[in-house]
Amino acid sequence: MLFDAHIHLTDDEYSNYIPQILNNLRALNIRACSVTVDIKTSLTSLDLFNNSRRDVVTQFIGIHPEFAGTEDTTKFIEIFSNNVDLIDGIGEIGLDPTYLRYKRATYDKQKEVFNFLLSIAERNNKPVSIHSRKSIADILETLKSYNTGSVLLHWFAGNKKQLSQSMDMGLYVGYGPALLYSDQLKMLLRNSRKDRILVETDGPVKYSRCFRGLTSLSSSFLVSVIKCAGDLLEMTYEETVSTIEKNSQSFLKRIQN
Ligand SMILES: [Zn+2]
């Protein structure tokens, strides 16, 4: 089974197609890790992905740094506590200074919310999916204070040194469709430990430089990402699939235990 390690199934872009998306995931034998960005999408997720959808959807809930200034963390912990058995992990959480220009949140507020969510993950032994755009150094520093188990740096786009620090810390790194056209990402993938690589679509993000900018049912893009990763690592498609499958299981291992 393939694993799309990061997708926003609760985004409005998908809201009219959820049954089709779930059928598509089943047909393609893909499990999707759905992440949320705020209280509203977290409630939508809990509503959509109750027990009956768990054959193909792994459910994370979180507060994205974009919304750190406006979301009520007390309400979040209440939702989390009431649904702890249905929630497989915490995400999407993180830091991102690019949102400070037009959102009210300060970077300190983002850090406060990020730390709060990491402590929930640590206390409850849940894996974490992290947004680290322009903030990898701060993220790596913050993570040193937590024993969170599995951590994914989704859409990893740091430099080679930050990659090697992440590998030393045992973090997972996510690669998506941009791998197909970015030489920088290709270099990073070649330098990643094979047992720490995950693949993702970050849907509904559109990739103008591949897949003709299409969005819907984007988990099917995974096959191309895996093929590209395999070529870069000089592995066959089958070897790549089985390596990434193993990585996905160990990333989620705290769920299965
Ligand atoms: Zn995302």
What pLDDT digit, counting tens, does each position of 128-187 carry?
Answer: 999 999 999 999 999 999 998 899 999 999 999 999 999 999 999 999 999 999 999 999
The per-residue pLDDT for 256 is 42
Q: Name the maximum alpha-carbon separation found in the chain.
A: 48
Above 70 in pLDDT, residue 212? no
91 alpha carbon to ligand 1 midpoint, in Å?
A: 9
Cα(133) to centroid(ligand 1), Å: 11
**What is the distance in A from the centroid of ligand 1 to the CA of 37?**
8
Its pTM stands at: 0.94
Nearest in space to 152 (alpha carbons), one of 205, 225, 93, 112: 93
CA of 201 to the centre of ligand 1 (A): 9
- How remote is the CA of residue 6 from the centroid of ligand 1, in Å? 6
8 Cα: distance to centroid of ligand 1 (angstroms): 6
Whether residue 254 is predicted with pLDDT greater than 50 in this model: the reply is no
In this predicted structure, the answer to whether residue 13 has a pLDDT above a threshold of 50 is yes
Per-residue model confidence as pLDDT tens digits over 33-57: 999 999 999 999 999 998 778 889 9
Q: How many Cα atoms within 13 Å fall on the side-chain side of residue 72?
A: 6
CA–centroid distance, residue 204 to ligand 1 (Å): 9
Mean pLDDT value across the chain: 91
For residues 169 and 196, what is the distance between their CA atoms, to the nearest angstrom?
11
Q: Helix, strand, or coil here: 64?
A: coil
Share of the chain above pLDDT 70, in %: 91
Distance 196 CA to ligand 1 centre (A): 19
Q: What is the pLDDT of residue 257?
A: 38
